[in-house]
Amino acid sequence: MLLLGIDTSGKTASAALFDSDTETFLAQTSLYTQKTHSQVIMPAVKEMIAQAGKQITDIGGIAVANGPGSYTGLRIGVAAAKAMSFGLGVKCCGVSTLLGLACNNLAHKGHICSIIKARAELVYTCTYKSDGFCIEQVTEEQIISRDELAEYLALNIGECLLCGDGAADFFNDYRSPVFTIAPPQGRLQNAVGVCLAGISRQLTEPELLEVSYLQKVKAEKDLEQKNA
């Protein structure tokens, strides 16, 4: 099966095409952009598929990063995945952005902590354990302060690899011999990780695909303040 992966959860707009029968990435593209993801993701997908010598109708399933991350970016990616799923008559699945980041570093043996910037001193995070082939989730996905995360890792995890758009700042501010940081190619969100995580998930009908923010969006917060 040809699995299309899409990630628009952060600054990077990324797509990848994975052949699950041969376990081969036929094509991948990533663009660190200041543009709105809606301007770049679909042209990138179409060009990537063409460069791989495939037709869009060859796609057998779609995996998309569905959160946490940028509210706008996530909505764009999920909407694109749902539209393509409906149009092509194929199934799709949502993949945790945090899991996708860990899968970008699948070859690392040991603990992997995904860290995505939320707001102020808060981060989205989840810790995993990899044996070099499979990823096992160790903690719940959560939004916590960087201090809380540093304390948890120091007391409970020890040596771990840091990845995500919040990893560099965390690594520099909480320097410890037990922390290592993923190389640039494995540090930011990428559709390759989405494919690797998505291939083991059950694909579902596109109407079931939803965004997972891990925190309330601004409209919900405004409504709560209004009703308080």
The two structure tokens encoding residue 57: 């109708």
217 pLDDT band (50/70/90 cuts)?
very low
Interval 75-88 mean pLDDT: 98
Interval 114-138 mean pLDDT: 97
Model pLDDT, residue 35 = 86
Q: What percent of the chain has pLDDT over 70?
A: 94
Model pLDDT, residue 228 = 52
Give the C-alpha distances (Å, rounded to integers) separating 207 from 90, 129, 223: 12, 32, 26
111 pLDDT band (50/70/90 cuts)?
very high
Model pLDDT, residue 220 = 38
Model pLDDT, residue 4 = 98
Which amino acid, residue 162? Answer: L
Nearest C-alpha neighbor of 102 from the set 200, 4, 208: 200
Model pLDDT, residue 219 = 38
The two structure tokens encoding residue 139: 């903690």
For the whole model, what pTM was predicted?
Answer: 0.92
Instruction: Compute the mean pLDDT over every residue in the chain, rounded to the nearest whole number.
Output: 94
Model pLDDT, residue 34 = 84
Vertex 182: Cα angle to 179 and 184 (nearest 5): 145
Model pLDDT, residue 227 = 52
Q: Within 13 Å, how many C-alpha atoms sit on residue 47's CB side?
A: 9
Burial class (CB in 10 A: 0-12, 13-18, 19+), 52: middle
Nearest C-alpha neighbor of 111 from the set 86, 133, 137, 90: 137
Give the C-alpha distances (Å, rounded to integers) separating 132 from 8, 37, 198: 26, 32, 17
Nearest C-alpha neighbor of 18 from the set 193, 183, 163: 193
